Each structure stands twice: as C-alpha cells, then as structure tokens.
Copies of this chain bind each other. A is one copy, B any other.
C-alpha cells in the first residue's frame, strides 16, 4: 500500500497526499481531512526508507556505548530514547563491549544506515575510526575526547569537582590512607578520574600513590580489595573509579567480614540508580546520566538543524558532585569513644557532608 493508493482512494494527486501528510499549511483543511480519513482507514504508514532516500535524512541517531550491561548505560539509553520519541527520531544502538572489532563494525553500521548523527559514549575508540566518521561529515558528539580532535562536539566532564569533594569528605573524617581503584588503563575517562584523584589528594597533602587497577566491573572491584588487603599499611578508605567497582568492593568486604563503613569507607563514582540500594547505601560522586544523554542528544539535534550556521557551542560541560549515603564513616580509631550507634553515625555524617559539599 503506497501513497498512490491513498491518492486514488481520496481522489487527489499523490502530491496532495504528500502535502497533507506532511502538514503543508497551504492545503485546504477539507481536503486534508479527506486524505487523513483514507490514511486512517487503510492503516497507511509512509515508508521511511523511501522518504529518507529523497530527503537525504534518515532521522536516525547512532548511539555507541561501551557495554549495555553496565547499569550506567541503560539510563542514558532510556533518556536518549525518550528524546528520540519526542523528536521523531530512531536510535541505532550499538554496544562495543571493549572489542576493537565491534567498534569498527559499529562505525560501519552507522555509515551504512546513513544515520544523521552519532553520539559516542564508548571510550578508547581508535582515532582513525572517528576520523572516518568525521570525513563523511556525520555530526558527532563525544564524551571526553581530548582537545586534539577538532570539529567534533565534545562533552567535557568535570571529574575534579566531585572527586575533590569526595576526597575532602574523607579527609574531614580523618582518613589519610585513601586508596583509589582505577578503571582499565587504556580508558581515557578512567585516566581522567585517576588524575582528578591525584590532584585532589595532593592539594591536601596526602599521598596519591595507593592505586590499584580495576576493570570497571564488580569482578574487578572484588579483586582490587583482595589486592588492597595484602598491603602492609592498609587503606582506611577507598575511592572507586565507578559504582560497579564499588559494588564489587562491598561484596568482597562482606566475604572477608570487613565492616563497611566501620572498618573501611568506600565511595563510588557515577551514582547509578543501584547505588541507593547497595548494602550499605553507597556514597558516590554523581554524574547525571540524564543530563549527559540530554546534552548529547541536543547537541546532535543542534548540529543537524544548523548544519551550516552556528558552529559555535562546540563544547559542553557536565559537573559532578558528591552525594552522601552510608558507606563512609570516621576513620577507625578516631573518636572511638563515641558509641558507634547507628543514628549517631548518621548525624556525624551529615555534618561532614555540609562542611565539604560546598
């Protein structure tokens, strides 16, 4: 069933049907109504491929993520989809699972399907692939790419703001041996978090060298804690490069019968929804997934519409900030005279929060 069929039945030309469907204002309302009636009766849906072919626009945005099974991403995907529905776009979702082959095939698929833009939320992608896309003039949004790739909209994440708050929060609770569980070494974003940790620690005169490498998964968090436990001078607090790592730490601590937060304070990064439901609830650095998705989508939209004009706002920034829950407490041995009763601890907590969170 095509537009010609509709034209025949409504006794108008295909041109008129097209105009009616696309709500061109010049068309007579009476006529338009007649067309719409036939469309509804027959359950006609325009063929988007054909439309895309002539328009040179597919109304599809590509979205490349690292790993859809990491709970960080579904929230982004959901927001992205909400916006897509609102703006009549589709999403072509691709998950690279850290595999260079998959990254390549992702890019190929995006090009083959002629998406109108791509948001890249995976890290460690070959520069040549990015250039491949850029050379085709596909609008791109990127998270955290260095300043070295010109002509690409970039969402910079201010890791320092939140991580500094976290470190100061821990220091305020008398922690001095604070470890960091980093992400995979090749990940730029993981490197940036680590850098921010280092900076924050040095600012307040603490040693930033207690670092062990994780993988941004729960498994890595478990292993990292094992690692940390082997050390002669064990840390009393640990910052994790993301929440999944922190969940792993919590889990391994349970296994080892290490009490959180009494024996060890832990703070995560990302503030995924789950962080509110861990045991104990996770103190973590918030990086709004909703905000990230929104910025990415709008950047793309912007770039598609004003394809020629306004190439200005090419860089966006997302700040991070600490959210306090229950996985951090006074360092061991400090204030041990006070009964570690639950409500008490919470109160102290809140105080510390106020002193550092602003």
Inter-chain contacts of A74 with B (CB < 8 A): 68-69, 71, 73-74
Are B85 and A105 closer than 8 Å at their CB atoms?
A: yes
Cβ-based interface call for A33 (8 A): no
Q: Smallest distance from the beta carbon of A273 to chain B beta carbons, Å? A: 7
Are A45 and B254 closer than 8 Å at their CB atoms?
A: no
Interface centre among A49, A71, A78, A279 (most CB of B within 10 A): A49
Are A49 and B46 closer than 8 Å at their CB atoms?
A: no
Cβ-based interface call for A120 (8 A): no
Q: Given that A46-B112, A48-B112, A248-B277 are contacting pairs, would A78 and B85 also be in contact in the complex, using a CB cutoff of 8 Å?
A: no
Q: How far is the CA of A242 from the CA of B84 in the complex (A)?
A: 29
Q: Smallest distance from the beta carbon of A160 to chain B beta carbons, Å? A: 28
Q: How far is the CA of A132 from the CA of B44 in the complex (A)?
A: 11
Q: Count residues of A near B (Cβ-Cβ below 8 Å).
A: 52
Are B112 and A69 closer than 8 Å at their CB atoms?
A: no
Q: Smallest distance from the beta carbon of A282 to chain B beta carbons, Å? A: 11
Contact with B along A42-68 (1 / 0, CB 8 A): 010111111011000010000000011
- Residues of A149-189 at the interface with B, using a CB-CB cut-off of 8 Å, are none
Are A75 and B81 closer than 8 Å at their CB atoms?
A: no
Cβ-based interface call for A114 (8 A): yes
Chain B residue with the shortest CB-CB distance to A250: B279
Cβ-based interface call for A108 (8 A): yes
Q: Given that A85-B102, A250-B279, A254-B279 are contacting pairs, would A78 and B95 also be in contact in the complex, using a CB cutoff of 8 Å?
A: yes
Are A111 and B45 closer than 8 Å at their CB atoms?
A: yes
Inter-chain contacts of A67 with B (CB < 8 A): 78
Cβ-based interface call for A295 (8 A): no
Partner of A91, one of B46, B73, B93: B93
Are A94 and B81 closer than 8 Å at their CB atoms?
A: yes
Are A45 and B112 closer than 8 Å at their CB atoms?
A: yes
Q: Given that A43-B132, A74-B74 are contacting pairs, would A113 and B90 also be in contact in the complex, using a CB cutoff of 8 Å?
A: yes
Are A81 and B52 closer than 8 Å at their CB atoms?
A: no
Partner of A68, one of B52, B77, B280: B77
Are B108 and A45 closer than 8 Å at their CB atoms?
A: yes
Contact with B along A328-341 (1 / 0, CB 8 A): 00000000000000
**7 smallest beta-carbon distances between A and B, as pairs:** A49-B49, A279-B279, A68-B74, A69-B74, A254-B279, A49-B52, A218-B277
